[in-house]
Amino acid sequence: MKVNKAEIIISAVAEAQYPGDNLPEIVLLGRSNVGKSSFVNTLIERRNLARTSSQPGKTQTMNFYQINDLFRFVDMPGYGYAKASKTEREKWGKMIEKYLRQRENAAMIFQLIDSRHEPSEDDVLMYEWLTYYNLNPVIIGTKADKISRTNQKKSTNQIAKALSLKSPREVILFSAETKLGKDEVWQRIESVLK
Ligand code: GDP
C-alpha cells in the first residue's frame, strides 16, 4: 500500500476518546521496547510518526495512527514493564482488555515478540489470553536483523514452541533495519481491509 497520509488522531487513555467512526483498526501488542513504534514507522515509511523511545514503558496511552483515511494502527502501551507499579499494571490490563473485547473496529491483532530471546512469561500469557477469547494474533518476531540466518530459524522454532503454534512458519520475522517482513505484513493488513 502506498501511504499518502499518516497522522496521529489521538493518544487515548479512556474509551470516550476512541474515534467514533467505523474505520478498521489494526492492533499492536507487545512488551515495552519490542519495536512497536519502529514497526509502524517502517510500514508507513515515515521516520518518526510513531515515537520510538529509549524509555520503555513511558507511554501508557493507546495511540491511534490513521493511515490514508482508510484504517488505523492502534499502538497499545507495552506490557511487562518491570518498573510499572501494580496499580499501573492493573490500569493497563483493564484498558486493553476492554478495548480488545468490545471494540468493533478491531480487525486484526499483531503481537510483537523480540526474536532474539525466548518469549517472556508476559508474551505467553498475552498470547494465551488472546486465543482464549478467539482473538488470534499474527505473531511478529522483531529485530530480526540482529540475529544470524541460522538463529532466525531457531528463533521461529522457539517462539512457535513457547506459544504452541502449529508451525514456525506462522511467525513473521521483521526488521525495521532491513525491512524484512514488510511486504508480508502489508499483505496481511490488506487482506482484512477488503
Ligand atoms: P516500542 O517501545 O515497542 O515502541 O519500541 P521502539 O520501536 O521504540 O524500539 C525500541 C528500541 O529497539 C529502539 O532503540 C529501536 O531503534 C530498536 N529497534 C526497533 N526495531 C528494531 C529492528 O528491527 N532492528 C534493530 N536493530 N533495532 C530495532
Quote the CA–CA distance of 61 and 77 in Å, as a whole number.
6
33 touches ligand 1 (CB under 6 Å): yes
Shortest CA distance to 129 belongs to which of 166, 101, 108? 101
CA of 178 to the centre of ligand 1 (A): 13
C-alpha to C-alpha distance for 132 and 44, rounded to whole angstroms: 31
Ligand 1 pocket member 41 (CB < 6 A): no
146 lines ligand 1 (CB under 6 A): yes
Boundaries of every domain in the chain = 6-193
Q: What are phi and psi of 131, to 5 degrees?
A: -70, -30
Q: Is 52 in the pocket of ligand 1 (CB under 6 A)?
A: yes
Comparing C-alpha atoms, which of 84, 87, 170 is closest to residue 127? 170
Nearest to 62 by CA among 23, 103, 26, 18: 18
Q: Tell me the pLDDT of the chain (194 aa) as tens digits.
A: 999 999 999 999 889 999 999 999 999 999 989 999 999 999 999 877 777 654 554 557 899 999 999 999 999 988 876 667 788 778 888 889 999 999 999 999 999 999 999 999 999 999 999 999 999 999 999 999 999 999 999 999 999 999 999 999 999 999 999 999 999 999 999 999 97
Q: Give residue-wise pLDDT tens across range 137-166.
A: 999 999 999 999 999 999 999 999 999 999
For domain 6-193, give its CATH number from 3.10.105.10, 3.40.50.1100, 3.40.50.300, 2.40.50.140: 3.40.50.300
ipTM above 0.90? yes
Residue identifier of the C-alpha nearest atom 5 of ligand 1: 35
Contact 161, 113 (CB under 8 A): no
Is residue 163 within 8 Å of residue 130, measured between CB atoms?
A: no
CA of 86 to the centre of ligand 1 (A): 26
All three cell numbers of 76 = 497499545
CA nearest ligand 1 atom 2, residue: 33
Q: Is the CB of 176 under 6 A from ligand 1?
A: yes
In this structure, what C-alpha cell is assigned to residue 91?
490500569
Which residue's alpha carbon is nearest to atom 28 within ligand 1?
Answer: 143
Residue given cell 499502538 in the structure block: 75
What b/e string do you get for 17-34 counting C-beta neighbours within 10 Å, with b at 16 or more? ebeeeebebbbbbbbbbb
**What's the gap between Cα 103 and its chain centre?**
16
